Structure 1
Amino acid sequence: MDTPSSPPLPSGAASSSGGQPSALLNQPIVIDNGTHNLRAGYAGGPSPRHIIPSIIGHSKHIRVMPGGALEDSPTEALEGSSSIGSTVGGTAGTGSSSRGRYKVYVGKRVAEHRGAMIIRRPMRRGVVEDGSWKDMERLWEHVFSRENLHTPASEHPLLLTETPFSPSSHRTRATETLFETFRTPALHYAMPGILSLYASGRTTGVVLDVGDGSAHAVPVYEGHALPHSVVRTDVGGCDVTEMVRTVLRRSRGYHLGTSAEMELAREIKENVCFASSTPLTSGGWERGFGVLDDDAALTTSPYLLPDGNALELSERDRSSPSEILFNPSLAGSEELSVSSALLASIKRADVDLRCSLLENVVLAGGTTLTPGFGERVLADLRAGGPDHARIRIGAPPERINSAWIGGSILASLSTFKNMWVTRAEWEEAGSSVWGRRGL
């Protein structure tokens, strides 16, 4: 179990040593700010205390009677009780009305009642989309609410993950929100790939982190980052989910059209899809994603849908969607495949370091849990890498949480206070403080 933080000191008080704000002495909070899920907990814990879906639900039906599981409560329906305001940004008619007929929900309650809601994800490809910052604030507020961490954001330093090559405007807006709206006392941004290496216990290696929105390869040698060798590609789990919808429509005639049904496609991906050990031929894709006269197309297994019907899925139906990770051109994308991004990252390093990196490849991120993913990456590395190099791939069982675990380790160190930027420093120097600190 996570070790609970010590009770927060009174807000605004000063410590007895050096006049340092008391909030800076409290246990830091670590948030892995993912496109699919938010993982949150206190530094020093072995695993995130709370895993919250990164989704916002806007009720699409009018309430006509009181009661029910979607009755208002301070931690579920943010209308009228949110400290950041009760209006909903985005499409008119899906947010809160002046009469309170339409509500906004956040967290697990959205997943439980998704069929009654229009579901939105504030983040795409690792960054908050324009017009979705109000929803992102709602998610962060939910993290600190009584239902989850149950502590004010103003009482704890914060470590927040940030994907490589995110726009500087994204960090600026996130910093303004966390410092001005949530009054966070100190903030540090960390790259998920480096945190995952922390979690693996290595000081040398290259992390292939494949999440829902993007993938990136981050090499580190003896604790030294190689920023010129970091490679990012915008291919991830969301592309596999979209391909599941395409496969089901073209091979089975089953259409998943609503935002809630998109979440169903995501579940199908997580439960039955796998990565083929060898590349699928392009002909299979052109002829209809599994409508082929071979064993892979004829052998089927049922998948039970929420309405009680069983959807028959062939082996090719289950393997085709994941192929987008290894050959994005099949969907018309010019992005690098995850294997190509890994090889490109290693080749950008000095020639004397490449063998060490190839011997210490670490997988991280939820999409790498796809059955057969590691074997396929290994096959691609052997095909495209040096002929006589030794290749070793580590796939920790907890790799879906490895970025958070690494952040927990980092934020629990006594030197973490030398890494963060305090609210006072930011108020004095503005966004330039990140450049001055080398962050």
Structure 2
Amino acid sequence: MSAIVIDNGSFRTRAGFAGDSTPQVVLPTVAGRPRGPRLLAYMMNTPGLKTVYVGKEALAKRGIMRIKRPIEEGVITNWDDMEEVWRSIFIDHEYLRVSPEEHAILVTESVASPPQNREKMAQVMFELFTAPALAIRTTAELALLASGRKTGVVIEFGHDATHVVPVHDGVIVKEAVCRLDVGGIDLTEYFIKLLMEERGYCLTTSHERRQVEEMKERLAYVALDFDEDMLKAAAAGPNGEQQFEIQTGNDTDTYKVGTELFRVPEALFKPTLIESESQGIHRLILDAILKCDSNIQSQMWSNVVLAGGMAMLPGLADRISRELRSHVPTATALKITTPEDGSTSAWLGGSLMAEAATQDIWWTLEDYTRVGPSVVHSSPAARCVS
């Protein structure tokens, strides 16, 4: 049977089968539990109701459920809720509908994930779900693999943060990894702030904020020359603005937006705009490459790969290229690759790896039974050649 591939993200979790080009399941990484003991008792004793909902089901019941995200900044922090997300992915009729004990499982982890989380993940997959085999790979490694490379610098634009991750021959150069404290949620909050403070709009409900987030994903872009675009916008005046609509109950409100569409992504290059002390993304890419061994730096410059939802921002690759070009050594090519869909890059890499994999990426249930959770700190390949 095909292996199951699960990409665990702070914002969304994606799951599907090895060999497929797209995930079969994409759901918000959230879990909801009843607000208060009386509601809990009612739901426990009412046929057809559950005491835990995940994904869109949880969000639809936010009025009566406490909604939590089990992954923060790429790291699993609430294992009970994460187990519910995984259980739902495996067995719910609208998701995979599989028996996890019949499939090898490849799961992703963030480069920021601590070693003990890898042990806990193995414990859950082997003991709770009885998986016959397990592989755990970083999202950066898999996103790079999806681009057809094993060496390069992956810029992972996440929900809570952005990481610059050099990878050499499939191995992360840990000492060169850099972090930008700006993620998709920060840009959304900045967008809302600009619309409320400068235009006087009232955007306070979760529904309104979600629609602003969708508008950001649909219309925002990165300016190649920020100052020049500001001058052009000033010259165009109201004629250069766009309108968007937000549904509020039975009514539709119309809003105008202009420079916000490129001022918001500018925070990736100037984090001080959102009161962050981080360096801009272009400076972190430079720092990460210079921390690598000098013998592989030219390979890094030639293989800069964007990943994550924000990787699809129009103009992003061109702006990064412009900011970095003066720092690239003479006779060294600078190449920045944008995927077809940055949000699924890591999942696709996992699908490719799991489909082509031999035993050298899998820890088996037998390995786990013999060694315990610490088995994840050894290479499965070592077992294969011993």
State the TM-score bracket (shorter-chain normalisation).
0.7 to 0.9
Pair 332,148 (structure 1): closer, same or farther in 2 beyond 3 Å: same
Amino acid at match of 2:83: E
Q: CA deviation at 1:242?
A: 1.5
Q: 1:97 and 2:40 equivalent?
A: yes
Q: 1:303 and 2:244 equivalent?
A: yes
**Contact in 2 for aligned 1:346/1:357 (Cα 8 Å):** yes
Q: CA deviation at 1:237?
A: 1.0
| Partner in structure 1 of residue 347 of structure 2 | 404
Pair 420,258 (structure 1): closer, same or farther in 2 beyond 3 Å: farther
2:76 counterpart (118, 124, 128)? 128
Q: CA deviation at 1:438?
A: 8.2
Pair 304,140 (structure 1): closer, same or farther in 2 beyond 3 Å: same
Q: List alignment gaps of at least 5 residues for structure 1.
A: 1-25, 59-87, 285-289
Q: List alignment gaps of at least 5 residues for structure 2.
A: 382-386
| Partner in structure 1 of residue 28 of structure 2 | 53
Q: 1:428 and 2:370 equivalent?
A: yes
Cα distance in structure 1, aligned partners of 2:175 and 2:220: 34
| Equivalent position SS for 1:98 | helix
Amino acid at match of 2:75: V
Cα distance in structure 2, aligned partners of 1:183 and 1:350: 42
Cα distance in structure 2, aligned partners of 1:429 and 1:27: 26
Pair 431,237 (structure 1): closer, same or farther in 2 beyond 3 Å: same
Q: CA deviation at 1:211?
A: 2.1
Give 1:19-418 correspondences, 5 Å limit.
Answer: 26-56=1-31, 58=32, 88=33, 92-93=35-36, 96-100=39-43, 104-110=52-58, 119-129=67-77, 132-145=78-91, 146-223=93-170, 225-279=172-226, 294-295=234-235, 298=238, 299-307=240-248, 308-314=252-258, 316-386=259-329, 389-415=332-358, 417-418=359-360
| Partner in structure 2 of residue 63 of structure 1 | none
Q: CA deviation at 1:386?
A: 3.9
Cα distance in structure 2, aligned partners of 1:104 and 1:304: 33
Amino acid at match of 2:74: G
Pair 27,343 (structure 1): closer, same or farther in 2 beyond 3 Å: same
**Contact in 2 for aligned 1:235/1:338 (Cα 8 Å):** no
Cα distance in structure 2, aligned partners of 1:181 and 1:297: 60
Q: CA deviation at 1:198?
A: 1.3
**Contact in 2 for aligned 1:213/1:238 (Cα 8 Å):** yes
Pair 403,387 (structure 1): closer, same or farther in 2 beyond 3 Å: same
Cα distance in structure 2, aligned partners of 1:94 and 1:144: 28
TM-score (ref. length: structure 1): 0.75
Count of residue correspondences: 370
Cα distance in structure 2, aligned partners of 1:430 and 1:395: 40
Pair 185,219 (structure 1): closer, same or farther in 2 beyond 3 Å: same
| Equivalent position SS for 1:97 | helix
Cα distance in structure 1, aligned partners of 2:205 and 2:247: 14
Pair 238,229 (structure 1): closer, same or farther in 2 beyond 3 Å: same
Amino acid at match of 1:342: I
| Equivalent position SS for 1:202 | coil
Q: CA deviation at 1:361?
A: 1.3
Q: CA deviation at 1:154?
A: 1.9
Cα distance in structure 1, aligned partners of 2:220 and 2:62: 22
Structure having the larger proportion of residues in helix: 2
Q: CA deviation at 1:142?
A: 1.7
**Contact in 2 for aligned 1:96/1:104 (Cα 8 Å):** no
| Equivalent position SS for 1:154 | helix
1:437 counterpart (374, 379, 383)? 379
Q: CA deviation at 1:221?
A: 3.9
Cα distance in structure 2, aligned partners of 1:208 and 1:136: 26
**Contact in 1 for aligned 2:120/2:373 (Cα 8 Å):** no
Cα distance in structure 1, aligned partners of 2:353 and 2:186: 31
1:384-410 per-position Cα deviation (integer Å, ceiling 9, x unaligned): 444664211111213321111111111
**Contact in 2 for aligned 1:235/1:337 (Cα 8 Å):** no
Pair 46,335 (structure 1): closer, same or farther in 2 beyond 3 Å: same
TM-score (ref. length: structure 2): 0.85
**Contact in 2 for aligned 1:161/1:189 (Cα 8 Å):** yes
Q: CA deviation at 1:369?
A: 0.8
| Equivalent position SS for 2:257 | strand
Pair 168,225 (structure 1): closer, same or farther in 2 beyond 3 Å: closer
Q: Percent identity?
A: 34
Q: CA deviation at 1:270?
A: 0.8
Cα distance in structure 2, aligned partners of 1:40 and 1:143: 7
1:267-321 per-position Cα deviation (integer Å, ceiling 9, x unaligned): 122122222223569xx9xxxxx9xx9347743211110221111112x122222
| Equivalent position SS for 1:208 | strand
**Contact in 2 for aligned 1:119/1:260 (Cα 8 Å):** no
Pair 117,257 (structure 1): closer, same or farther in 2 beyond 3 Å: farther
Q: CA deviation at 1:96?
A: 4.9
Cα distance in structure 2, aligned partners of 1:411 and 1:40: 13
Pair 186,223 (structure 1): closer, same or farther in 2 beyond 3 Å: closer
